[in-house]
Amino acid sequence: MKQLSDTLFNAVVRSCAIGTLILVSGLCVTLVIHAMPVFRHSGLSFLFTSTWDPLRQQFGALPFLVGTVITAVLGVLISLPFSLSIAFFLGEYFPSGKLSIFFQSATDLLAGIPSVIYGFWGLFVVAPFMQKIEIRLGIMPYGVGIATASIILAIMIVPYTASIAREIIKLVPSDLKEAAYALGATRWEVVRHVVIPYAHSGILAGILLALGRAIGETMAVTMVIGNRNEFPKSIFDPANTMASVIANEFAEASDDIYLSALIAVALLLFLFTTVMNMFGRFVIKKLTVRQES
C-alpha cells in the first residue's frame, strides 16, 4: 500500500514538472510559428525600424522595445532606494514586534492592489502633478509619459524587492553579526561589511524579480504612458511598451500579418524576460560561488 502511494505521488509530481516544461516550450513554439509571417514579410527590419503602421503593413517594434526597457529600468532605479531602505529597516533594525509586522504587511499589501487601480491613481493623481512639473520646465504638459509610467511602476514593484531582501537580511546568521560587534564595529559597519556581503545575491534576486514584473506590467502602464508608437526623445515624452501594444491592439487585429506582428512582439517580450531571468541566475550563481570560496 505504501509503495503504491509512493509511486503514485512520484508519478504525479514528475508529470506536473514535465507538464510545465512542455507548456513553456509549447508556448515558445506557438509564438515562433505564428510570428514567422511578419519576419518573412519585413525581415529583420521588424526589430530595427520604428514605424508601426498596421494600415500600410509596416511593422517596426523598436519603439516598444525601447519603451519597455526604459520604463522598467527607470522604475527599478526609482524604487531601489525605497525598497532597500524598507528591507534593511524591517530586516535588520526593526525585525520583530507588532509594529514591525504591521509595517511588513503594509508593504506586502502594495503587491496585492490590482494594477488597474494603480493606473487610475496614476492618471488622476500622478499625471496632474507631472503636468505641473512639465509646465514649470516649459515642455508640452501631457502629464502622461515615460516618467509617469516609471513612477507608477516603481511603486508597484517596491514590495517585491522589499520582501525578498527583508527575508534574506533576516537570514544573516547572528553569530557573524555578533562577532563583528565584538570587534567594535558600529551598526553601519555591520550592515556594510557583514549583512550586505552575505545577502547581496538574494537582494539581487529580489531586484530581478521586480524588473521582470516591471517589464511585463500592462494595464497600469497602458493607462499612463500615452501610447504613442514613436521613438521617445525625452523621459517626459509619451511612448509605448511591448505588453501595452499587445493588450491594446490584439482584439481588433483581423489582418493576418498584423496579427502575426503582434505575436512577434509577444515573442520578443517572452525572449526578453527569459534572457533577463537567465542573466539574473548567472549573476546570482557567480556571486554565491565567490562567497563560498
Partner 1 sequence: MKRLTWMFFVMLACMLSSILGYGAESLTGAGATFPYPLYDKWFNIYHHVTGVKINYQAIGSGGGIRQLLSKVVDFGGTDAFMSDEELQKASGEIFHIPTCLGAVTVTYNIPGNPELRLTGRLIADIFMGKITKWSDPKIAGLNKGVKLPDMNIVAVHRSDGSGTTFIFSDYLSKVSPEWKEKVGRGKSLNWPTGLGAKGNAGVAGMVKQIKGSIGYVELIYAKQNNMPVALIKNKAGNFVKPSLESVSAAADVDLPADTRVSITNTDSPNGYPISSFTWIIFYKEQSYNNRSKARAEALARLLWWMVHEGQRYNEDLLYARLPSKAVEKTEAIIKSMIYKGQPLVTW
- What residues line the site for partner 1 (CB under 8 A)? 51-56, 58, 123-124, 127-128, 131, 140-144, 222-223, 226-229, 238, 240, 244, 247-254, 258
- Give the residue with the Cβ less far from partner 1, 51 or 277: 51
CA gap 264, 272 in Å, rounded = 12
Q: How many CA atoms lie within 13 A of 273 on its CB side?
A: 18
Instruction: Dig out the grid coordinates for 254 from the structure.
Output: 483581423
- Give the residue with the Cβ less far from partner 1, 88 or 258: 258
Which residue stretches of 113-195 are H helix?
115-121, 127-137, 146-170, 174-182, 187-190
- Give the residue with the Cβ less far from partner 1, 159 or 226: 226
Q: Give the shortest CB-234-to-partner 1 separation in angstroms.
A: 15
Q: Give the shortest CB-34-to-partner 1 separation in angstroms.
A: 13
Q: Give the shortest CB-110-to-partner 1 separation in angstroms.
A: 23
CA gap 81, 85 in Å, rounded = 6
Which of 131, 159, 168 lies closest to 147 in space, CA to CA? 131
Q: Give the shortest CB-5-to-partner 1 separation in angstroms.
A: 17
Which of 106, 119, 91 lies closest to 206 in space, CA to CA? 91
- Give the residue with the Cβ less far from partner 1, 201 or 241: 241
- Give the residue with the Cβ less far from partner 1, 131 or 277: 131
Do residues 149 and 225 lie in contact, with contact meaning Cβ atoms separated by under 8 Å? yes
Q: Give the shortest CB-97-to-partner 1 separation in angstroms.
A: 43
Which of 225, 76, 221, 68 lies closest to 143 in space, CA to CA? 225
